[in-house]
Structure 1
Amino acid sequence: MDSFYKYHVFFCTNQRAPDAERPSCGRRCDAERMLDYTKKRVKTLGLAGPGNVRINKAGCLDRCEQGPTVVVYPEGTWYTYFDEADLDEIVDSHLKDGKIVERLLIDQPS
């Protein structure tokens, strides 16, 4: 069975309290703004929509210590990022050309 989207991308935007024991992706690198940036970029490149790419926000993906985190399905490829240039590389390499961005990968959980 084919997936409705070629790539379905989830951005962790979870925000814990500033004094929480664990970090949160939403507080790192302004995750909500980065999600919006990526959505606009995917639309500008004509990659958005059924059969292609969908960008969604997610609550906690439970990888915040390694974050901010983004996961790309259907492969389940986990990335971190630091700025718009990193997100551009994920969009251009992975979402547009199908090539994983090795330098931004988060190790898969054991």
Structure 2
Amino acid sequence: MTDQPFYQHHVFFCMNEREGKDARQSCGKCGSEKAQKHAKKRIKELGLSGEGKVRINQAGCLDRCEEGPVLVVYPEGVWYTYVDNEDIDDIIDTHLVGGKVVDRLKI
């Protein structure tokens, strides 16, 4: 057994969608599916997917929807919010590739 994590970075996008007229904001209604698919595609294009690299996943409720849409990057445990694909690209380029937190998007 190794001390190395299976993935260098594991990214979870909250995909939760609350229903009902009194439902709170939810990430699923704020474009999280589109953003997650964009991130997954971009990571593959950059050759960063697979064991020892980056994994982009969907997640159920991460319970921070009011700050969202949200994603979290592990093993660092850094939480981000985002608006569009440019924000997702900034997280990929700056954090996942460059190793620096994107302060303007950090929760």
Q: Give the TM interval when normalised to the shorter protein.
A: over 0.9
Name the count of aligned residue pairs. Answer: 105
C-alpha deviations, 1:57-102, integer Å up to 9, x for none?
0000000000000000001000000000000000000011111100
**Partner AA of 1:23 in structure 2:** Q
Q: 1:22 Cα deviation (Å)?
A: 1.4
Instruction: Determine the structure 2 residue equivalent to 1:90.
Output: 91
Instruction: Determine the structure 2 residue equivalent to 1:40.
Output: 41
Q: Specify every segment of 5 or more residues in structure 2 that has no aligned partner in the other structure, as ranges.
A: none
Over 3 Å counting, the alpha-carbon distance change for 1:18 and 1:92 in structure 2 is: farther
Over 3 Å counting, the alpha-carbon distance change for 1:17 and 1:53 in structure 2 is: same
Instruction: Determine the structure 1 residue equivalent to 2:72.
Output: 71
**Partner AA of 2:45 in structure 1:** T
Instruction: Determine the structure 2 residue equivalent to 1:3.
Output: 5
Runs of 4+, deviation exceeding 2 Å: none
User: Share of identical aligned residues, percent?
Assistant: 57
State the distance in 2 between where 1:16 and 1:25 align.
Answer: 9
Matched position secondary structure for 1:92: helix
Query: Normalised by the size of structure 1, how large is the TM-score?
Result: 0.92
State the distance in 2 between where 1:77 and 1:63 align.
Answer: 13
Q: 1:38 Cα deviation (Å)?
A: 0.5
Query: Normalised by the size of structure 2, how large is the TM-score?
Result: 0.95
Instruction: Determine the structure 1 residue equivalent to 2:17.
Output: 15
Q: Specify every segment of 5 or more residues in structure 1 that has no aligned partner in the other structure, as ranges.
A: none
Instruction: Determine the structure 1 residue equivalent to 2:102.
Output: 101
Measured on the aligned residues, the alpha-carbon RMSD in Å equals 0.9
State the distance in 2 between where 1:51 and 1:76 align.
Answer: 17
